Amino acid sequence: MSVDARAVLLKHYDENSDLFRLLWLHSEKVAAKAADCIARRGLKVDGEFVREAALLHDIGVFRCHAPGIFCSGRLPYICHGTEGRRLLEECGLPRHALVCERHTGAGLSLADIERQGLPLPHRDMLPVTEEEKLICYADKFFSKSGDPAREKTLYEVRRSMAKFGEESLARFDEMHSRFG
């Protein structure tokens, strides 16, 4: 059964807000990038699910504190994935919910969370399915700050992954070898 992602987002966002305009632009960019990867690489994935989950992957941002991108919530920004999971599970969308939790960085391992002292539950948050990996990958090419419409270069994405350590970069490179 297909999901109206825009309608799900609008349960939490004002359609005429700067935040929703930014979120929708970003999410459509990620969905389009993922669709392009599917077409170019002939990926055997559930394309309809990928589109829906790509449009929903950042639903949790409004609960976080990131005034530069119009988010006036209280949680640290890193929590937008787990918040997204919670919100989508409440909507009865557990498969989409896991995409939210598993899309930050190149995924977060339990070791990453512990080592960096991140304010997150202590469990692996690595993308597992092809669909989860593809959305995580596509998301890395678009920022919500700066120019949200511009696709980053591979060099820029790899440089930002490297900041989170060798393992993050290796996970990104593995996704790039399949989807890029």
Per CB under 5 A, residues contacting Fe ion are 58, 139
> Nearer to Fe ion by C-beta: 58 or 132?
58
Which residue number, 112 or 139, has a Cβ lying nearer to Fe ion?
139
Nearest to 34 by CA among 126, 107, 143, 134: 134
| Count of CA atoms in the C-beta half-sphere (13 A) of 23 | 26
Among residues 65 and 115, whose Cβ is nearest to Fe ion? 65
User: Closer CB to Fe ion, residue 111 or residue 140?
Assistant: 140
Choose between 58 and 101: whose C-beta lies nearer to Fe ion: 58
Per-position b or e across 52-67, b if 16+ CB within 10 A of its CB: bbbbbbbbbbbbbebe
Residue 135 CB, shortest distance to Fe ion, in Å, is 9
Query: Which residue's C-beta sits nearest to Fe ion?
Result: 139
Give the nearest distance from C-beta 103 to Fe ion in angstroms. Answer: 7
In the complex, minimum distance from the CB of residue 30 to Fe ion, in angstroms, rounded to a whole number: 6
As a residue count, the chain comes to 180
Q: Which residues of 87-117 are buried (b: 16+ CB within 10 A; e: fewer)?
A: bbeeeebeebbbbbbbbbbbbbbeebbeeee
CA distance 96 to 56: 8
